[in-house]
């Protein structure tokens, strides 16, 4: 599959996501890399919103965004950032949190889950579930009307998928799960892992390193780590899955979509041809980021009961 011209230009400058041999990274260097963001200028504008507040959900830091000036109840969209469970933060994902609030019209809750290697598996998954559970438990605090959805990209897509099945098992009905090039199986044995192993942004060696930082002693088949291994996907919430055509994670996302469809779960999978991993978070570099966000916002608004086409950003 040929690279999109913008993706080709990007990987010419950044052939790997980390830009460094992961074997050389100790904790001190990881923390230094967390403190900087060389791509910040490409993450989109920090749209001014009427309400942005930093709170916590049972001790988990969150940032809550609201794009309208009212105070009545709205649906809530819980967002989990990417970064391989090692990098990323509420601060670094501030632009996408604001953008999602504008596009969907929902209250957006961005989750500052604990990071590895300091906090290994299942810390991030537990934090994700804590926040989703708290939204259901304290709807007035979140100005929630009872309709809740989850969204995440990459490792955040993994956390969103895990939170979705945990909500199902707890009897909490999510309206939707939106998964953007999610990590769904740490077996890493799909054809896309072989085809895009190196030179396409996130490479196979880096992904193996991320998994080793997060879950060095976990069973790879544990569905809290590999949701694709979940024994049953029946009864999961409706789903939208976005994949990048030139990404090691492409096949597991599409396999998950096929499995959901076979179980009768409403699902739409859209592959962005020629795209590389991370495109969704960098609208300043990739036109496909805006296209993917608009697509996801339409899907989310429909299942959240928001008739707000005038809210969608261009």
Tokens of 201: 């942004």
Nearest to 218 by CA among 290, 309, 145, 121: 121
CA 312 to CA 3: how far, in whole Å?
28
Tell me which of 134, 192, 277, 303 is the catalytic residue: 277
From the CB of residue 24, how many other CB atoms can be counted at a distance below 10 Å? Answer: 8
> Choosing from 89, 93, 154, 278, which is the catalytic residue?
154
Q: Give pairs for 283-289: CB < 8 Å, separation 24+.
A: 283/42, 283/43, 283/44, 283/99, 284/41, 284/42, 284/43, 284/44, 285/6, 285/10, 285/39, 285/42, 286/4, 286/6, 286/7, 286/10, 287/6, 288/4, 288/6
In order of 53, 92, 104, 251, 280, the CA distances from 308 in angstroms are: 23, 27, 7, 33, 22
User: CB of 192 within 8 A of CB of 237?
Assistant: no
Q: What is the DSSP letter of 45?
A: -
Measured distance CA(63)–CA(190) in Å, rounded? 35
Q: Which of 99, 153, 247, 303 is catalytic?
A: 247
154 tagged catalytic: yes
CA neighbor of 158 nearest in space, from 94, 226, 217, 61: 226
| Helix (H) / strand (E) containing 56 | strand 51-57
Strands 74-80 and 144-153 come out as parallel
58, 128 Cβ separation under 8 angstroms: no
51 counts as catalytic: no
Cβ within 8 Å of residue 205, ≥6 positions away: 22, 197, 198
Whether residue 117 has a cis bond before it, omega within 30° of 0? yes
Residues acting as catalytic residues: 154, 247, 277
């Amino acid at each position: 599959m040929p690279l999109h011209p913008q993706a080709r230009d990007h990987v010419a400058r950044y052939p790997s996501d980390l830009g460094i041999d992961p074997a050389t990274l100790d904790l001190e260097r990881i923390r230094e890399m967390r403190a900087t963001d060389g791509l910040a200028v490409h993450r989109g504008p920090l749209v001014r919103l009427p309400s942005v507040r930093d709170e916590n959900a049972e001790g988990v830091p969150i940032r809550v965004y609201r794009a309208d000036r009212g105070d009545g109840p709205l649906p809530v969209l819980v967002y989990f950032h990417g970064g391989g469970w090692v990098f990323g933060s509420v601060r670094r994902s501030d632009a996408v949190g604001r953008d999602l609030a504008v596009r969907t019209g929902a209250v957006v809750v961005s989750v500052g889950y604990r990071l590895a290697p300091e906090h290994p598996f299942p810390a991030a998954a537990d934090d994700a579930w804590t926040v989703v559970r708290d939204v259901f438990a304290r709807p007035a605090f979140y100005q929630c009307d009872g309709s809740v959805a989850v969204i995440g990209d990459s490792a955040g897509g993994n956390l969103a998928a895990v939170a979705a099945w945990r909500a199902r098992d707890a009897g909490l009905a999510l309206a939707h799960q939106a998964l953007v090039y999610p990590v769904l199986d740490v077996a890493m044995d799909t054809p896309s892992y072989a085809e895009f192993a190196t030179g396409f942004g996130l490479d196979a060696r880096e992904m193996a390193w991320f998994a080793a930082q997060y879950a060095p002693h976990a069973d790879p088949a544990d569905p809290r780590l590999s949701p694709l291994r979940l024994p049953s996907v029946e009864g999961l919430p409706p789903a939208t899955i976005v994949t990048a055509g030139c990404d090691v994670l492409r096949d597991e996302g599409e396999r998950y979509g096929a499995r959901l469809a076979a179980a009768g779960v409403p699902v739409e999978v859209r592959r962005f041809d020629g795209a590389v991993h991370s495109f969704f978070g960098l609208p300043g570099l990739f036109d496909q980021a805006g296209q993917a966000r608009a697509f996801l916002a339409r899907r989310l608004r429909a299942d959240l009961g928001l008739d707000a086409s005038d809210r969608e950003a261009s």
